[in-house]
Amino acid sequence: MRIVIVGGVAAGMSAAMQVKRRRADAEIVVLERGDFVAYGACGIPYNLEDPARDIEDLVVRTPQEFRAHGIDVRLRHEVLSIDPARKLVRVRHAAGIWDLEYDRLIVATGASPLVPPIRGVDRPGVHVLRDLSDAAKIKQRIAGGEVARAVIVGGGYIGMEMAEALRQRGIAVTVVERLGRVVFGFEPAISDIVRDELLRLDVRVETDASVDSIDEQLSVHTSAGTVAADLVLVSVGVRPNVALARDAGIALGPTGAIAVDEGMRTSLPDVFAAGDCAEAHHLVADSPAYIPLGTTANKQGKVAGANAAGAHEVFAGIVGTAAFRVFEVEVGRTGLGRADIERAGRDDLVSISTHASRGHAFPGSAPLTTVLFVERDTGRLVGAQMAGRGVVGTRIDVFATALHANMTVDDIERLDLAYAPPIAPVYDPILIAASVARKDLERARRG
């Protein structure tokens, strides 16, 4: 029994370990086109921030460690095509091209950064964050003292994390965002908090600014003017790497990523997919979603590996939880956002509240802003967003748990949550948000 895994980052290596645990006798071959496997890509900004850290400390397990577990990890091996009829993959390596047979195949090809068609985007000095090697190059340039000014094209959450990282290294940073505000997937009230935090740390923010070109001196010409730079980072989103799967006849879903069932099976027999190349079932929307994140990739990889080894495990789905930090501000969301709601033709109530993060008069207490999306007829929570200088990520987890349990805002208002001055005020911002939403709902129903 040979199980071949294409891609060796989060999903691929989780799958490999799971196969090994379940079927010690299986031959497991991981084909990774890059130079590293099993690294925490999400940790890249925080690694760049600290000159003392080696980029390779993001590697959770080395190929040698996997090999010691009996997993055959091959770096710089690119899979060119899949032949599902003959059950083999065509592999290219420096040594040549050959075919490798599989009994079960797991596609974990990940995602790639979008590169917009900007003139000059391919110049040296313009970077994207595709993998650890890209991060290593940026870190090397900073260490070499070459970077006094950086432009980040794209105001998404990775752009925010990178703005912090570069600023912490003493670099003058400008964020250029095509849309009207940063982190556009969040409500304006949340975007404003993020923008204010960027401005507080002297990050320049140019919104409504599309990039026309990047010239030889690396000056970035936008619809709002020109910004000089020594380093340009393009971070405008990712797309799933599906060419290999699509060309093999594996069905893609409505989002453009690989369609999978709850056992991570694709449309082809004995072929599984997991991670940033695949869809996940969104439990609140009750439809397939494409929200590539490391945590989902790990969980999907585990289920794909288990089932490739003959088990019947299930990845139940996601509720769209995501969080990031920028300087001292934490930001999180879960469930449906405005775009999801509009796409689905829903008419949910949007309720905004702000409340202290800690007890009365406790030092370091700061306002947290919460946006809730609530189904009007039932009062059921369908989405939550939060931002502020305090614990937001794990508060979003409470809302995520409430989504899993189909709770209404009344249910949430009745939760018995922790109170201690250093941890939370008497009424946690979660309870305040639910209470405000309930009252907003009552008001909307009355008139």
Does position 361 interact with a second copy (CB under 8 A)? The reply is yes
Does position 446 interact with a second copy (CB under 8 A)? The reply is no
Which listed residue (398, 432, 433, 437) binds a second copy by CB under 8 A?
Answer: 398
Q: In sequence order, what are the residues at sequence separation of 6 or more whose Cβ sits closer than 8 angstroms to the Cβ of residue 138?
A: 48, 127, 129, 231, 233
Amino acid identity of residue 295, one-letter, is: T
Using alpha carbons, select from 8, 1, 65, 102 the residue that is nearest to residue 309.
1
Structure tokens, 329: 């501000």
Does position 42 interact with a second copy (CB under 8 A)? The reply is yes
Q: How far apart are CA 64 and CA 66, in angstroms?
A: 5
Exposed, middle or buried, 100 (CB in 10 Å: 0-12/13-18/19+)?
Answer: middle
Count of positions on this chain that bind a second copy (CB under 8 A): 65
Using alpha carbons, select from 196, 215, 73 the residue that is nearest to residue 151.
215
Interacting residues with a second copy between 159 and 178 (CB under 8 A): none
Does position 194 interact with a second copy (CB under 8 A)? The reply is no
Q: In sequence order, what are the residues at sequence separation of 6 or more whose Cβ sits closer than 8 angstroms to the Cβ of residue 345?
A: none
Neighbours of 286 (CB within 10 A): 9
CA distance to 22, 323, 360, per residue, from 382 (Å) = 37, 17, 30
Amino acid identity of residue 67, one-letter, is: R
- Work out how close the CB of 118 gets to a second copy at its nearest, in angstroms, rounded to a whole number: 28
Does position 207 interact with a second copy (CB under 8 A)? The reply is no
Does position 421 interact with a second copy (CB under 8 A)? The reply is yes
Per-residue binder mask for a second copy (CB under 8 A), 220-259, x = binder: ----------------------------------------
Inter-residue long-range contacts of 141-146, CB under 8 Å, 24+ positions, other chains counted: 141/231, 142/48, 142/51, 142/166, 142/169, 142/171, 142/231, 143/51, 146/230, 146/231
- Work out how close the CB of 323 gets to a second copy at its nearest, in angstroms, rounded to a whole number: 4
Interacting residues with a second copy between 259 and 298 (CB under 8 A): 283, 293-296, 298
Which listed residue (117, 269, 418, 447) binds a second copy by CB under 8 A?
Answer: 418
Which listed residue (363, 377, 446, 447) binds a second copy by CB under 8 A?
Answer: 363
Q: Annotated catalytic residue: which of 1, 42, 171, 283?
A: 42
Structure tokens, 199: 């401005």
Per-residue binder mask for a second copy (CB under 8 A), 426-445, x = binder: xxx-x---------------
Which listed residue (109, 307, 321, 370) binds a second copy by CB under 8 A?
Answer: 321
The residue to which tokens 């941890």 are assigned: 423
Please answer whether residues 347 and 389 qualify as being in contact, where contact means their C-beta atoms are separated by less than 8 angstroms. no
Q: How far apart are CA 100 and CA 417, in angstroms?
A: 55
Q: Which is nearer to a second copy, 345 or 363 (CB)?
A: 363
Which listed residue (46, 125, 134, 262) binds a second copy by CB under 8 A?
Answer: 46
Give the three-state DSSP class for 131: coil
Does position 43 interact with a second copy (CB under 8 A)? The reply is yes
Name the segment binding a second copy (CB under 8 A); options: 46-54, 96-104, 142-150, 342-350.
Answer: 46-54
- Work out how close the CB of 269 gets to a second copy at its nearest, in angstroms, rounded to a whole number: 27
Q: In sequence order, what are the residues at sequence separation of 6 or more whose Cβ sits closer than 8 angstroms to the Cβ of residue 404?
A: 283, 319
Neighbours of 60 (CB within 10 A): 13
Q: Which is nearer to a second copy, 189 or 417 (CB)?
A: 417
Q: In sequence order, what are the residues at sequence separation of 6 or more whose Cβ sits closer than 8 angstroms to the Cβ of residue 376?
A: 347, 348, 349, 441, 444, 445
Name the segment binding a second copy (CB under 8 A); options: 86-94, 138-146, 345-353, 408-416.
Answer: 408-416
Does position 193 interact with a second copy (CB under 8 A)? The reply is no
- Work out how close the CB of 166 gets to a second copy at its nearest, in angstroms, rounded to a whole number: 16
Which listed residue (101, 180, 422, 445) binds a second copy by CB under 8 A?
Answer: 422
Can you give the C-alpha Rg of the chain in angstroms? 23
Handedness of CA 215, 220, 221, 226 (dihedral sign): negative
Please answer whether residues 262 and 317 qualify as being in contact, where contact means their C-beta atoms are separated by less than 8 angstroms. yes
Which listed residue (211, 319, 381, 387) binds a second copy by CB under 8 A?
Answer: 319
Does position 378 interact with a second copy (CB under 8 A)? The reply is no
**φ and ψ of 250, to 5 deg:** -75, 130
Q: Which is nearer to a second copy, 77 or 299 (CB)?
A: 299
Q: Which is nearer to a second copy, 188 or 294 (CB)?
A: 294
Per-residue binder mask for a second copy (CB under 8 A), 50-69, x = binder: x--x---xx-x---------
- Work out how close the CB of 185 gets to a second copy at its nearest, in angstroms, rounded to a whole number: 15
277 catalytically annotated: no
Structure tokens, 331: 């930001």
Neighbours of 397 (CB within 10 A): 14
Q: Which residues are catalytic?
A: 42
Q: Return residues touching a second copy (CB under 8 A).
A: 10, 40, 42-43, 46-47, 50, 53, 57-58, 60, 283, 293-296, 298, 316-325, 330, 332, 334, 359-363, 391-398, 400-402, 404-405, 407, 411, 414-424, 426-428, 430
